[in-house]
Amino acid sequence: MSQDTFPIRKVDHIRHYVGNARQAAYYYQHVFGFSITGFHGLETGQRHEVDYLLEQNDVKLLFTAPIRPGHPMANAIAQHGDFVQDIAFEVDDVDWAYNEAVKRGAQSAHEPYSLEGDEGSVRVASIHIYGDTLHTFMNRDKFKGHFLPGFQTRNEPGDPIGIQEIDHCVGNVELGKMNYWVKWYEEVLGFSNLISFDDNDISTEFTALMSKVMASGNGRVKFPINEPAEGKKKSQIDEYLEFFGGAGVQHVALRTDDIIHTVSRLQARGMEFLTVPKTYYEMLSDRVGMIDESIDELAELGILVDRDDEGYLLQIFSKPVTDRPTLFYEIIHRKGAKSFGKGNFKALFESIEREQALRGTL
């Protein structure tokens, strides 16, 4: 194992910029079962925007919305729709991380500063990644409060469905830019390339894409990066880039220890998922061998299975959760497997293409 040249503890939270944070919070509380645990807005002295913090086990989501006309955040939302604007990291030393990243070529978004409050201070700094997305570095070792100074603690529990942590976050970048960002993650944040997929792995009759999975030094942060590849028709990545207005976060994978429970609850609450043809399940045991779950139950819910050298994984992909065909979620349950479901790509992309055809964007 090579030395970790850029220590990152873990993903701290994912921040979404949205048009209406109160309603976004309600959706994530009532569909995904997150609890609303923090608030920062007019009532807590924040005059121009509002934040809602939601949590379930190790997953923290922050929803931020502008509350004044002409707010610069509103321009970004007008461009992209509601979107993932920041994947924030917890690090040991924010000043070191920021200075080192900038020295290695990152573009600065915010120089290090301290947020101060009665319960201590939190050090924060940010750098730009693809599109309008940031990585924020933060450290709250000198903070006794809950999330950030200024936040009011809220206790509005959701009904949790077993979501444990963020497994990976996927970025879609422009044609020809995948290797640029692979190199950027290697050089700036000391990540390494875990797995690569080319258009032979990820292609259907019509469309193709390429993907490389980047992982942080301690292996806890995993970021696949996709770019479109030449196909007969428009790929799902091209569709994303067109509707999003450039590069951005395509999906966030949430890890569960009981995918049947998690997905049944999501479906009961109205979450829609991509489906694969019934023939997928007829061939399943030949492809993946013995598994603990009932294949009938998996077929009923539309859960996919793949095996690698270390075990197997179960996964399912939602339809986009925004009006634009941009951000979606994956629910993943790992039983030893550390991979990303390559064996499901073809069945899955045919499913995405059926949805694209319905949208008239294939």
Length of the chain: 362
Under the phi-then-psi rule, with left for phi > 0, alpha for psi from -120 to 50, and beta for the rest, what region is 204?
Answer: beta
Tokens of residue 100, six digits = 């080192």
By beta-carbon proximity to Fe ion, the closer residue of 73 and 169 is 169
- Yes or no: say if 51 and 16 are a contact pair by the CB < 8 Å rule: no
Nearer to Fe ion (CB atom), residue 126 or residue 344: 344
Instruction: State the nearest-atom distance from the C-beta of 289 to Fe ion, in Å.
Output: 22
Task: Take residue 103 and report the two structure tokens written for it.
Answer: 């020295």
Alpha carbon dihedral 212, 291, 296, 201, in 10-degree steps, equals: 20
User: Which member of 54, 161, 249, 253 binds Fe ion (CB under 5 A)?
Assistant: 253
The answer to whether residue 327 forms part of the interface with Fe ion (CB under 5 A) is: no
Choices 40-48, 130-138, 210-218, 328-336; region in contact with Fe ion by CB under 5 A: 328-336
- Is 330 one of the binding residues for Fe ion (CB under 5 A)? yes
- Kindly tell me which of 62 and 313 has the beta carbon lying closer to Fe ion: 313
List the structure tokens of 39: 């608030």
The alpha carbon of residue 161 and the mean position of all alpha carbons in its chain are separated, in whole angstroms, by: 18
Q: At its nearest, how many Å lie between Fe ion and the CB of residue 251?
A: 6
Q: How far is the CB of 348 from Fe ion (least distance, A)?
A: 10
Is residue 306 at the binding interface for Fe ion, with CB under 5 A as the rule? Answer: no
Q: Give 60 or 334: the residue with its C-beta nearer to Fe ion.
A: 334
Which tokens belong to 254? 């949430």
Sort residue 270 into left (φ over 0), alpha (ψ -120 to 50) or beta: left
The distance of closest approach from Cβ of residue 170 to Fe ion in the complex, given in angstroms and rounded to an integer, is: 5
Rounded to a whole number of angstroms, the minimum distance from the CB of residue 184 to Fe ion is 20
User: Vertex 313, ends 308 and 316: CA angle to 5°?
Assistant: 130
Q: Which residues bind Fe ion (CB under 5 A)?
A: 253, 330
